Structure 1
Amino acid sequence: MDPMDRIHVEGDSTYMLMLEAARRGYPCWFCVPQQLRAEGGQARAVCQPILARPTAPHFEIGALEDRPLGDFDVVWMRKDPPFDIDYIFSTYLLDLAPPSTLVLNRPASLRDFNEKMATFRWPELCVDTLVTQDIERAVAWARSQADRVVLKPWDGNGGRGVLVSHPDDGNLRSMVEILSNEGRRAIILQRYIPEIRNGDKRIILIEGEPVGWMLRVPQPGDHRGNMHVGARVEATELTQREREICATLAPTMRRAGLLFVGIDVIGDYLTEVNVTSPTGIQEINRLMGLQLERRVTDAVEARLAALRQEVG
């Protein structure tokens, strides 16, 4: 996970999962990715025991310990993006955990399901999109659109670097050049979805099933429905189209070992599949009167029981 000084207990989902583990009597340890290593063919972590509490002081942290990942029943990967080479390397180390240890979400699937690129596995659910680092192709595609276009980095998060342009924008080429680092990095261009004015919907999936959702409404004058940049959250309902999207994704989520996922939907379109460190538990709990951390932990216990039967 990220360093403890980045954990804001008033909105953090990992904190809620630790609280639920403590409520059930499960001991927890934590480490940052830099404390993972492989030695003698074994994945190990320099980690610290941690007890989460619902009131201040919110954490009781113990001394450093050097332990193999095989000592643990479950290892959660809850490091926030960016999804960079260091993140990918961490998944290689997690792959070395023994078969008896449940790693969530599955490391290979963390690599395979990039949060923005994974949507293209279901092209029928996606808005018209181009992914390229070719500046000329990107500009020509944007100019060919009938209305506005969205430009964003393929590996961004939290609404950072998201721009809106239009076919006649004199700054369009400059936007493409800057975002693509002069053609050295791929960028995503998408047809603008006007329904973003009403917000984008975050839907939490547990074992592929929708269990909680909320609407994230951009600030006035903004087009980004990300809480990191000031979007507000509202209660909402799932549409029939959104339920169809969830049902389409569910078999793949289960096969890929993606137990805890957050998908984003704007209008009728799937825009992101968040598998690295989905958030929204606290906000959805408040809006819907749920305890999603309990639903997640129930699913973890069921998955672990199945693993125990499988490996003996």
Structure 2
Amino acid sequence: MELAFYADPPDTFKVWKDSTYAMMAEAAKRGHRIHVFLQQDMALRGRDVSVHAAHIGLTGSEEGEWFRVKGMQWRGLETFDAVIVRKDPPFDVDYLNATYLLELAEAKGARVFNRPAAIRSSNEKLAIARFPEFTVPTLVSALPELLRAFHEEYRDIILKPLNAMGGAGVFRVGPDGRNLGAILEMLTANGTRAIMAQCYIPEIVDGDKRVLLINGQVVPYALARIPQRGEVRGNLAAGGVGRAQPLTPEDRRIAETLAPVLAEEGHFLVGLDIIGKWLTEINVTSPTCFREITRQTGFNVAGLFMDELEKAV
């Protein structure tokens, strides 16, 4: 197959932990051709969406130069067997516009995973509202008075922006309300930007669990990302330590409930975030943790991804 990865610049990858690299390495092992394009490499001419894609080869090294560019070429997205969306958030206006271009390419026959309309309709924080049976009390608002009232009611809360990743901008405000005003001013841009407030979940000390769904299949291991040094965030990007572990019954119940629903909507790869028995996020842009789970358990997550992709195309 010829695979096109819509991603961030490859020279920024931390390949020892990068899930996109894991996908590419598995694809290369199977003899598939790998191409990469960036957001700015997309062009619309009339109704045709093309990309200035780099055909790359993997060197086999995880240090230094891990890929070589074999050539650059303008190609219609429909000429690839699959287009794999791996662009990291923030889900800003440029990301939004890219989903429109990808959707136009779909109309010409491109096979895009995850489907751009599905990504666009599923804010990674707000999507949990579709499954209230699995969530703690939550408020989304830009209004400081509502957010203050939420804190007054629940006393120990988490505040976070709606379009960031990696734990960026996540704050815990305890019963004393320390710095609540300043945090609200910053996160809401003085009451003009909606944010999310959730009850603090004490089980975070045991990890923020990433559970992966691939084409409706549930990966049997989660990566519990455990906060360190007094942190409230378990995200690996925020210094959390990842511990792979079998799914708990609660993890599996959530995953098996959501998997067929999300797959039907066009979400080929999803990363659920679960703390204790509570669903906190549904990640659909560029879910990670492939390499950590594989390294610690031997379960080949990228292998399952590629098996399912080969079936789908």
TM over 0.5: yes
Runs of 4+ in 1 over 6 A off after TM superposition: none
Alignment-derived partner of residue 33 in structure 1? 39
Q: Secondary structure at the match of 2:186?
A: helix
Alignment-derived partner of residue 166 in structure 2? 158
Query: Which one of the candidate residues 219, 223, 226 is aligned to 1:214?
Result: 223
Query: Which one of the candidate residues 43, 51, 61 is aligned to 2:69?
Result: 61
Question: CA 1:179–1:293 in structure 2 vs 1: closer, same or farther (change >3 Å)?
Answer: same
Query: Which one of the candidate residues 165, 176, 198 is aligned to 1:168?
Result: 176
Give a deviation string over 1:230-286, Cα, whole Å, max 9, x none: 101113221111111011101211111111111110011001111100111110001
CA distance in 2, matches of 1:223, 1:168: 16
Q: Is the 8 A contact 1:208 1:246 kept in 2?
A: no
Q: Secondary structure at the match of 1:214?
A: strand
Alignment-derived partner of residue 192 in structure 1? 200
Alignment-derived partner of residue 259 in structure 1? 268
TM-score normalised to the size of structure 1? 0.94
Alignment-derived partner of residue 91 in structure 2? 83
Q: Is the 8 A contact 2:228 2:239 kept in 1?
A: yes
CA distance in 2, matches of 1:155, 1:98: 25
1:301-312 matches, within 5 Å, as: 301-304=310-313
CA distance in 2, matches of 1:85, 1:98: 20
Partner AA of 1:106 in structure 2: R
Query: Which one of the candidate residues 260, 278, 289 is aligned to 2:287?
Result: 278
Q: Does residue 47 of the first structure (1) align with residue 56 of the second (2)?
A: no
User: Once superposed, what is the RMSD of the aligned Cα atoms?
Assistant: 1.3
Deviation at 1:64, TM superposition (A): 2.2
Query: Which one of the candidate residues 209, 216, 234 is aligned to 1:201?
Result: 209
**What are structure 2's unaligned runs of at least 5 residues?**
1-6
Q: Secondary structure at the match of 2:252?
A: helix
CA distance in 2, matches of 1:31, 1:80: 13
Q: 17-26 or 269-278, which moves further after superposition?
A: 17-26
CA distance in 1, matches of 2:118, 2:10: 26
Q: Secondary structure at the match of 2:306?
A: helix
Alignment-derived partner of residue 310 in structure 1? none
Alignment-derived partner of residue 92 in structure 1? 100
CA distance in 1, matches of 2:106, 2:252: 36
Q: How many equivalent residue pairs?
A: 303
**What are structure 1's unaligned runs of at least 5 residues?**
305-312
TM-score normalised to the size of structure 2? 0.94
Q: Is the 8 A contact 1:159 1:226 kept in 2?
A: yes
Partner AA of 2:259 in structure 1: A
Q: Is the 8 A contact 1:144 1:167 kept in 2?
A: no
Q: 105-114 or 212-221, which moves further after superposition?
A: 212-221
Partner AA of 2:166 in structure 1: G
Deviation at 1:150, TM superposition (A): 0.5
Q: Secondary structure at the match of 2:86?
A: coil
Alignment-derived partner of residue 241 in structure 2? 232
Q: Is the 8 A contact 1:214 1:287 kept in 2?
A: no
Alignment-derived partner of residue 124 in structure 1? 133
Query: Which one of the candidate residues 7, 23, 28 is aligned to 2:29?
Result: 23
Partner AA of 1:252 in structure 2: V
Q: Is the 8 A contact 1:166 1:172 kept in 2?
A: no
Q: 221-230 or 62-71, which moves further after superposition?
A: 62-71
Give a deviation string over 1:52-105, Cα, whole Å, max 9, x none: 232264202123211111211100111011111111110100011245331010
Q: Is the 8 A contact 1:148 1:164 kept in 2?
A: yes
Partner AA of 2:112 in structure 1: V
Alignment-derived partner of residue 4 in structure 2? none
Q: Secondary structure at the match of 2:222?
A: strand
CA distance in 1, matches of 2:186, 2:106: 44
* Structure with the higher fraction of residues in strand conformation: 2
Partner AA of 1:150 in structure 2: I
Deviation at 1:299, TM superposition (A): 0.4
